[in-house]
A and B are shown apart, each in its own frame.
Chain A
């Protein structure tokens, strides 16, 4: 009887310790404590990603920022902590040489990087601008200098001048003439702040 009791006590202690050890093990990246995936649909889970070296990615809104990391929350409500390294590159279409300092809470970002214990270390971060860097302007041609510039009077009544390059695409006519109604597709060079036309559509 006494021996049986001792055996039962030993079994009980073993079970209790086993449970504590299992509970103390952290879940692997991409899996929560319930064994379910924490990867959002925007993330691609691949077998090699589970090996810990394949690039992973996340898209969402920046909901927190610290000195060397930030948190991204996806549409599905999943949060991922993104570590920022010296090698991490930031890209904003409207800004030249973007850095981590340009990242703000509520920015919409796409990130790819390498999985780590708490999320991923960022390789590249694309920050979506609040409005596009490309703009369309409609107006009548005031002056056109091939490969140099075009000046139009917009439908709002403003005079706007755009730089041209040899790559500027022109559709509708071989070259615009004064009085033609055109749409100028342009983007602002972040460094020079000059609007350069990438395309001109001459309307009939």
Chain B
């Protein structure tokens, strides 16, 4: 009988540990006064997505979050249709397309894009392997300017 009881306890322990793992520590209470936290027994599983300690000295510096320039300018608009920001592409040549105000000047990485009568534009761009920065700038005749900075990764 004593052996059966011990066996039952062991099986229960096995069943408890076989549950889907969660971040919450698993505690098995042996008596009212004694408990053994299982997390001290199990080896720590290092997740792939860990954060560095917050005490790193280099973290003390602050810098405003990098944002695309979105200052509203009357009559000047800029919308990128393709490629999508932070996307991964598998071809070296892509076409940057978008829409701006009629009559605006648009440059892609400093090169002029063709803008049609209604403000649509497109520009073929050759990417480097790996990460690429694409700067799209639009301006009107009055000197107003809008820009967007895209990060695109080319992985052949």
Hey, which bits of chain A sit against chain B, CB under 8 A? 2, 5-6, 8-9, 11-13, 15-16, 18-20, 23-24, 26-27, 29-34, 38, 42-44, 55, 57, 59-61, 63-66, 69-71, 74-75, 78-81, 91, 93, 104-112, 117-119, 123-126, 128-139, 154-156, 169, 171, 181, 183, 185-187, 198-199, 201, 203
Can you list 11 A-B contacts (CB < 8 A)?
Answer: A12-B9, A32-B48, A34-B20, A60-B86, A109-B131, A118-B48, A119-B48, A132-B137, A134-B110, A185-B112, A187-B110
A2 neighbours in B (Cβ, 8 Å): 3
Across chains A and B, which 5 residue pairs bring their CB atoms closest together, nearest first? A12-B10, A110-B131, A15-B14, A5-B3, A126-B131
Interface size class of B (residues with CB under 8 A): 35 or more
Within 8 A of A (CB), among B109-156: 109-112, 130-133, 135, 137-143, 145, 147, 149, 151-153, 155
Q: In angstroms, how far is the closest chain A Cβ from the Cβ of B14?
A: 4
Distance, CA A55 to CA B129, complexed state (A): 11
With A12-B10, A132-B147, A134-B137 in contact, is A107–B142 under 8 Å at CB? no
Within 8 A of A (CB), among B63-116: 63-67, 69, 86-88, 90, 105, 107, 109-112
Q: In angstroms, how far is the closest chain A Cβ from the Cβ of B81?
A: 18
With A24-B45, A105-B59 in contact, is A110–B132 under 8 Å at CB? yes
Return the chain A residue nearest B5 by Cβ. Answer: A5
- Whether the pair B139, A183 counts as a contact (CB closer than 8 A) is yes
Hey, which bits of chain B sit against chain A, CB under 8 A? 3-4, 6-7, 9-11, 13-14, 17-18, 20-21, 41-43, 45-52, 54, 56, 58-59, 61-67, 69, 86-88, 90, 105, 107, 109-112, 130-133, 135, 137-143, 145, 147, 149, 151-153, 155
State which of B14, B51, B58, B66 has its C-beta within 8 Å of the C-beta of A107.
B66
- Whether the pair A112, B52 counts as a contact (CB closer than 8 A) is no
- Whether the pair B141, A203 counts as a contact (CB closer than 8 A) is yes
